[in-house]
Amino acid sequence: MDSSSRTSSGDAFAAFAISVLRLAGHLTSEGDRLAQPSGQTSARWQVLAAARHGNMSVAEAARALGLARQGVQRIADVLKTEDLIDYRENPLHRRAKLIVLTPGGEKVLAEITARQAIWANALGSEIGEERLRQATVLATEIIALFREREKAAPP
């Protein structure tokens, strides 16, 4: 076997990774469909959900969402102009403001969340709770492995 050949475990992981990427595309499309009646996109919905916590900076929200800080900042700025979020002083960092929902943002997020609950309930029922929980455990383990490798990688 030459160095460019994958093992059967490598093939299994590559197939899994491709499936996850395809799934991510479908989830983004479904998220856009669920958010659209409220005038939002999947990406905006994610930032609104992060702002719900009220104690996250843009950078913290980006890390939590696995997105680039600059992209989250652009979305947050648009949501601010639409009066769906606001920036609040951060007691831990003078320049990194916290993002918080406005009453309008709360309303939009509640609308999207209600549609998402119906959608998730239907799919969850079709796929099965146990299988979904097993898939979540596996995905969480792989994410943790990547995070450990990121920490161990030289700068």
Q: Which pair of structure tokens corresponds to residue 93?
A: 């960092």
Domains assigned to the chain:
30-126 (1.10.10.10)
Decide if pLDDT at 91 tops 90: no
Predicted confidence (pLDDT) at residue 155 exceeds the cutoff of 80? no
Closest to 75 (Cα-Cα) out of 108, 38, 106, 50: 50
| pLDDT tens column, 3-43 | 579 999 999 999 999 999 999 999 999 999 999 999 999 99
d(CA 6, CA 134): 26
* Across 122-131, average pLDDT: 98
E-only strand ranges, the chain = 56-57, 85-88, 98-101
- The torsion region of residue 39 among left (phi > 0), alpha (psi -120 to 50) and beta comes to left
> What average pLDDT score do residues 102-115 get?
98
Q: Would you place residue 93 in the very low, low, confident or very high pLDDT band (cuts 50, 70, 90)?
A: confident
Tell me how long the chain is: 155
pLDDT reported for residue 99: 94
